[in-house]
C-alpha cells in the first residue's frame, strides 16, 4: 500500500477509463489492464464479475467507485507508511527553531498511521547535547530519532552510537528520490564509510538587514568585517536603533562557530593538517579572534551577552537593530507582517569576509535525523518515518522556514541566493575527526572571556590549548 500511495499522481481519469474498458471487454482470461496497479486490478475484478452476470453498466459504475475511493487515500502530505503489526512509540529529541519545529510536526503526522505514536521532546541545544551524550553511551536509548548536525554526527558516529543507514538508503533511493539530495549533504554524516543521518535542513550564516536604513544612509551591504565596523559607526545614531549590528557572541558554543569561520578565513584551522596537534593558538588564530573582538566592541559592546540569534532576529524585526548575522534557518517571520514591523524592507545577503578577499565568515552546516544504535525499534520503520517527514512534499512547505536539502525545491525559499553564496564561498564544514569535539569543548569554556575583557585572545587560546592537550592525551588522541 505504501508504494501505491507514494505514486499518488496517477491520474484518476485513467484508472476509471481502464476500469470501464475492463467492464466492457472482460472475460475470464483477460489480463489486468494496468499490471501492478492495485486500484485498477481491483476495479477490473469488479467489472469482470459483474459482466459474468450481464450487468456491464453496473460493473463500470462499481469500478469507477473503487478507483475513486482508492485515489482519495493518496494524500501526499500524509505519512504514507504501512502500519506495524503491534503498537510502537517513536521518541524524538532535538532542539527547537522554526524549521525543526515544522519537521517535528511532519513527523507527528505518522500518528495517523495505525499502531504508531510519536513523542516529540525539545530541549535547548546545550541540554540536548548533554542528554544525548548521557543516554547514547549506554547500551539502549530512550530515543529513536535524534537531531544532529555535522559535528555531532562525527562525534557520535566515531563512538559507534548511531545506526548505519547505507542499506536503507539504497533500498528506498528511487521511491523517495533520495538522489535529489546532493551527495555533499549525505557526506556530511559519512563516518568510516557509513551514512549516519538523513539530511533535512541546510544552514549557514547570512546577513539580514533593513534595506531602507542602508538606502537612507547611502550604505552598501558590508562584504567584509571592516565594512561591518564602518557601517556600525554610521548606523549607531539612527533613530530607534539600540545597537547597529548583532553577531551571536552570547555563549561559548556560538563564539566557537564564529571563530572557526574567522580562523579559516585568516588561513588557519583547529588542528595541524593530518594530525591531532592543536593549531588554533597560532598567529592566525590570535588575529582572527582579535578581529571578532573588534566587531563586537564597535557594534555591540557589553550588550553581546543579550543578543543570541533569536534576540538578534527579534531586534531586526522590531526595528531596534539595523542588521544582523543570522542563521539562514532562523529567518522565518522576518518578512512576515505578523511577526515583523518591517517585512517589506528586510533583505538578505551573503555573510561578510573577515578579511578583504578571504573566504566568507560562514560555515557549512547540515541538520540530520539520525537513529541511535540503541533504539529498540525496527530501524526500517523509523527510517521510513524520517523519509515521510522530510520528503519532497514536506520540503516544499518547509522552504519558508529554512534551507531545504532537495535540489528540486527552490521556490518559496527567501534566503536561497544568500545562503548558497555563504556555503559555496565560505569555509566549509567541521573536519570529520573525533578529536574536534575536544577542541570545541576546550574553546567554548574560555572564549567568552575575550568578549568580557577578562582575558586577551592569546591568553584564552593558550588556556584552551592546555585544556585540549590534557583531554586529548587522556583519550588517546595525542601521545
C-alpha cell at 471: 583531554
Give the chain's mean pLDDT.
86
The pLDDT of 4-9, averaged and rounded, is: 41
Q: Residue 404 pLDDT more than 50?
A: yes
Given this model, what pLDDT does residue 130 score?
95
Q: What is the pLDDT of residues 455-470, one digit of tens each?
A: 999 999 999 999 999 9
Q: Confirm whether 88-203+365-412 and 205-362+435-474 share one CATH topology.
A: yes
Q: Residue 37 pLDDT more than 80?
A: no
**Weakest mean pLDDT among 35-49, 110-124, 336-350, 413-427:** 35-49
Q: Which of 258, 351, 239 is nearest to 296 (CA)?
A: 258
Q: What angle do CA 419, 423, 425 make, to 5 degrees?
A: 115
Buried b (16+ CB within 10 A) or exposed e, 169-204: beebeeebebeebeeebbebbbbeeebbbbbbbbbb
Residue 91 β-bridge partners: 119
Please give the model's pTM, rounded to 2 decimal places. 0.75
CATH class (in words) of the domain with range 205-362+435-474: alpha beta
Q: What is the pLDDT of residues 390-399, one digit of tens each?
A: 999 999 988 8
Parse the chain into domains and list their residue ranges. 2-72, 88-203+365-412, 205-362+435-474
Given this model, what pLDDT does residue 458 score?
98
Query: At 195, is the secondary structure helix, strand, or coil?
Result: strand
Homologous superfamily (CATH) of 88-203+365-412 is Periplasmic binding protein-like II (3.40.190.10)
Give the total residue count for the chain: 479
Q: What is the pLDDT of residues 279-288, one digit of tens each?
A: 999 999 999 9
Given pLDDT bands bounded at 50, 70 and 90, which one contains residue 74? low
Alpha carbon separation from 118 to 165, 215, 257, 384, 391 (Å, rounded): 21, 49, 32, 13, 18
Query: At 350, is the secondary structure helix, strand, or coil?
Result: strand
- What secondary structure letter does DSSP report for 110? G
Residues 6 or more apart in contact with residue 183 via CB below 8 angstroms: none
Q: Which of 76, 105, 94, 80 is nearest to 401 (CA)?
A: 105
The pLDDT of 364-382, averaged and rounded, is: 96
Q: In whole angstroms, what is the distance from residue 110 CA to residue 108 CA?
A: 5
Given pLDDT bands bounded at 50, 70 and 90, which one contains residue 222? very high
Q: Which of 364, 367, 361 is nearest to 249 (CA)?
A: 361
Given this model, what pLDDT does residue 255 score?
97
Amino acid at each position: 500500500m505504501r508504494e501505491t500511495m507514494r505514486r499518488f499522481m496517477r491520474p484518476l481519469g485513467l484508472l476509471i477509463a481502464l476500469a470501464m474498458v475492463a467492464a466492457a471487454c472482460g472475460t475470464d482470461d483477460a489480463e489486468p489492464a494496468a499490471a501492478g496497479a492495485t486500484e485498477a486490478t481491483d476495479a477490473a475484478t469488479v467489472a469482470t464479475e459483474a459482466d459474468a452476470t450481464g450487468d456491464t453498466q453496473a460493473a463500470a459504475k462499481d469500478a469507477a467507485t473503487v478507483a475513486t475511493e482508492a485515489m482519495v487515500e493518496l494524500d501526499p502530505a500524509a505519512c504514507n507508511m504501512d502500519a506495524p503489526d503491534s503498537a510502537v512509540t517513536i521518541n524524538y529529541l532535538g532542539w527547537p527553531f522554526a524549521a525543526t519545529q515544522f519537521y517535528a510536526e511532519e513527523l507527528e503526522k505518522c500518528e495517523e498511521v495505525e499502531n504508531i505514536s510519536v513523542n516529540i521532546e525539545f530541549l535547548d541545544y546545550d541540554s540536548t547535547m548533554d542528554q544525548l551524550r548521557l543516554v547514547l553511551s549506554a547500551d539502549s536509548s530512550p530515543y529513536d530519532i535524534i537531531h544532529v548536525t555535522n559535528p555531532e554526527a562525527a562525534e557520535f558516529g566515531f563512538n559507534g552510537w548511531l545506526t548505519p543507514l547505507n542499506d536503507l538508503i539504497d533500498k528506498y533511493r528511487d521511491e523517495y528520490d533520495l538522489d535529489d539530495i546532493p551527495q555533499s549533504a549525505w557526506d556530511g554524516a559519512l563516518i568510516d564509510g557509513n551514512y549516519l543521518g538523513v539530511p533535512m535542513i541546510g544552514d549557514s550564516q547570512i546577513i539580514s538587514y533593513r534595506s531602507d536604513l542602508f538606502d537612507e544612509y547611502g550604505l552598501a551591504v558590508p562584504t567584509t568585517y571592516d565594512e561591518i565596523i564602518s557601517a556600525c559607526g554610521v548606523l549607531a545614531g539612527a533613530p530607534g536603533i539600540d545597537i547597529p549590528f548583532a553577531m551571536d557572541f552570547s555563549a561559548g558554543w556560538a563564539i566557537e562557530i564564529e571563530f572557526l569561520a574567522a580562523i579559516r578565513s585568516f588561513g588557519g584551522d583547529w588542528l595541524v593538517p593530518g594530525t591531532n596537534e592543536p593549531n588554533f593558538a597560532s598567529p592566525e588564530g590570535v588575529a582572527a579572534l582579535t578581529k571578532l573582538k573588534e566587531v563586537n566592541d564597535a557594534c555591540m559592546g557589553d550588550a553581546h551577552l543579550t543578543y543570541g540569534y533569536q534576540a538578534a532576529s527579534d531586534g531586526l524585526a522590531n526595528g531596534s537593530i539595523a542588521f544582523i548575522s543570522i542563521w539562514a534557518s532562523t529567518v522565518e517571520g522576518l518578512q512576515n507582517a505578523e511577526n515583523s514591523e518591517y517585512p517589506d524592507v528586510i533583505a538578505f545577503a551573503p555573510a561578510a569576509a573577515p578579511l578583504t578577499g578571504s573566504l566568507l565568515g560562514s560555515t557549512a552546516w547540515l541538520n540530520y535525523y539520525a537513529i541511535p544504535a540503541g533504539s529498540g525499534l525496527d530501524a526500517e520503520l523509523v527510517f521510513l518515518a524520517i523519509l515521510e517527514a522530510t520528503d519532497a512534499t514536506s520540503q516544499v512547505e518547509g522552504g519558508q522556514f529554512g534551507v531545504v536539502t532537495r535540489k528540486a525545491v527552490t521556490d518559496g525559499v527567501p534566503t536561497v541566493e544568500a545562503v548558497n553564496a555563504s556555503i559555496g564561498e565560505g569555509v566549509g564544514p567541521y573536519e570529520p575527526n573525533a578529536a574536534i569535539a575536544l577542541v570545541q569543548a576546550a574553546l567554548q569554556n574560555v572564549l567568552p572571556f575575550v568578549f568580557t575583557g577578562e582575558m586577551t585572545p592569546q591568553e584564552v587560546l593558550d588556556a584552551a590549548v592546555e585544556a585540549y592537550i590534557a583531554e586529548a592525551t587522556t583519550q588517546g588522541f595525542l601521545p
